[in-house]
Amino acid sequence: MGFDVELGLEWYRQMVLIRQFELRAIEERKKGLIPGFIHPYIGQEACAVGACAALAPDDVITSTHRGHGHLIAKGGDVRRMMAELAGRQTGYCGGKGGSLHMTDFELGILGANGIVAGGIPMAVGAALAFQLRGDRSSQGGLRVALAFFGDGATNQGAFHEALNLAGLWRLPVVFFCENNLYGEGTPQHKQAPITRLSQRAASYAMPGVTVDGNDVEAVYQATCQAVQRARAGDGPTFIEGLTYRYRGHYEGDPQVYRSRDEVAQWEARDPIPRWRQALLAQGVLPATLDDVERHVAALLEEAVALARSSPPPRPEDALEGVYGDTHDGRVF
C-alpha cells in the first residue's frame, strides 16, 4: 500500500475518536445528560475520515442527521459537540441546534441537517460562490464544497435539482453518498430501482464511482481524485461509499428490518480494526496505537466534563439569534 504512516495514524485517531465519541454520547444519553435523539454513525467512520482527509481546511462540507463523524473529521471540537448534545451554553450552537444542526463556519462546516437531502443544494451554492469569485484553495486550484448524504437522500428532489445544477455549471463540488443500505428502516432495494447509486451520476454528466466505504484509504484516494477534478475546474464527481451502520437508524431503534446475521457479517468488515491491522502491517507499534486510544479517552473525559459543568442556557436565550437585525424587536 505504501501510505504515509503519520497520515495513517491521524486517520486512525479520527476514526477511533468518532466511534468513542458516539459510544460515550449514547452512554451519557442513557444517564440523562443528553435530552435529544442521536443517529449513530458507528460503522461508517472510514467515509468521513477518508473524504475529509482529501479536503483543505478552507474547503467546506455539508452534513446530515448522521453527522457527528463528518464534523469530527473536518476538525470539529468534540468538547463543544458534547456540550451541544447536552444542550448547554458552551455547545456549538449554544443549545439551539443539538445533534442535527451543529455548525462551525471557521472549520468550513456549513451544518448538519435534519432533512436528508437538505444540505446538498447548499454545498452546490457554496461551490457556485467559489466558482463565481474564483476562490483559490490553499492547496491550489478552486476551493471545493463536499456534500455528505445517505442513500435515502438520493430519492429526494433536492438531490436531483442540486446535481443537475452542479453538472450543468461544472461546479467544484463533490457529492459523497454513504450507502449504508437502509433509508431509516427500509432497505435500499425497496427505495430505488437501481443497486449502484453511482449510476445516478451519469444523468448529470459527472463521473460516478463506487468505493469500499469501510476502507479509509480507498475513500481517501477516490475523494482526492474528485477534489483534483473540482480544483482544476473540471466539475463535480459523485462518490458512493459502500458502508453499513452497526446501530439503529436512531439510538433505540428496535431494528426489526434486518437480521443479527447481516449485522455480524458487516461487523467482520469493521473499518477500524481493519485500519489498525494495516498500520501494524506497516510496522506501527501496538503501543503507539494504544497511546492514540488513551489520548481519545482523555479527550472524551474532558468533553463530558465540559458538558456536565457548563450552565444550561437561560430560557429567554431562546429569543436570541433568530435574525441578524431585529428592528428593535418588531420582528417578533
What does the H/E/C string look like for 98-121?
HHHHCCEHHHCECCCCCCCCCCHH
> Residue holding cell 445533534?
99
- State the binding string over 16-55 for other proteins (x if CB under 8 A, else -): ----------------------------------------
153 binds other proteins (CB under 8 A): no
**89 vs 288 by CB, closer to other proteins:** 89
Least Å from the CB of residue 170 to other proteins = 13
141 binds other proteins (CB under 8 A): no
Least Å from the CB of residue 90 to other proteins = 11
Nearest CA among 104, 105, 125, 113 for reference residue 156: 113
What letter does residue 311 receive in the DSSP assignment?
Answer: P
Whole-angstrom distance, CA of residue 309 vs CA of residue 288: 32
**50 vs 95 by CB, closer to other proteins:** 95
Taking the CA atoms of the chain, what radius of gyration do you get in angstroms? Answer: 20
Q: Say if residues 150 and 179 touch (Cβ distance below 8 Å).
A: yes
Least Å from the CB of residue 108 to other proteins = 9
**Of residues 14, 20, 44, 62, which one binds other proteins by CB under 8 A?**
62
322 binds other proteins (CB under 8 A): yes
Least Å from the CB of residue 269 to other proteins = 34
128 binds other proteins (CB under 8 A): yes
**130 vs 244 by CB, closer to other proteins:** 130
Q: Which stretch binds other proteins (CB under 8 A): 121-129, 187-195, 220-228, 288-296?
A: 121-129
232 binds other proteins (CB under 8 A): no
Nearest CA among 209, 50, 243, 58 for reference residue 141: 58
Least Å from the CB of residue 194 to other proteins = 22
Nine-digit cell string for 2: 505504501
94 binds other proteins (CB under 8 A): yes
Whole-angstrom distance, CA of residue 120 vs CA of residue 100: 15
How many residues in the shown chain lie near other proteins by CB under 8 A?
51
Least Å from the CB of residue 78 to other proteins = 17
E runs forming strands in the chain = 60-62, 145-150, 173-179, 182-183, 186-187, 208-212, 237-242
Q: Which residues make beta-bridge pairs with 186? A: 183
Whole-angstrom distance, CA of residue 200 vs CA of residue 202: 5
What is the torsional sign of CA 249, 255, 256, 257? positive
Displacement of CA 6 from its chain's centroid (Å): 22
Q: Which stretch binds other proteins (CB under 8 A): 30-38, 186-194, 282-290, 321-329?
A: 321-329
Query: Which residues are near other proteins by CB under 8 A?
Result: 60, 62, 91-97, 100-101, 103, 105, 110-111, 113-115, 118, 120-130, 132-133, 145, 157-158, 161-162, 164-165, 168, 320-328, 330-331
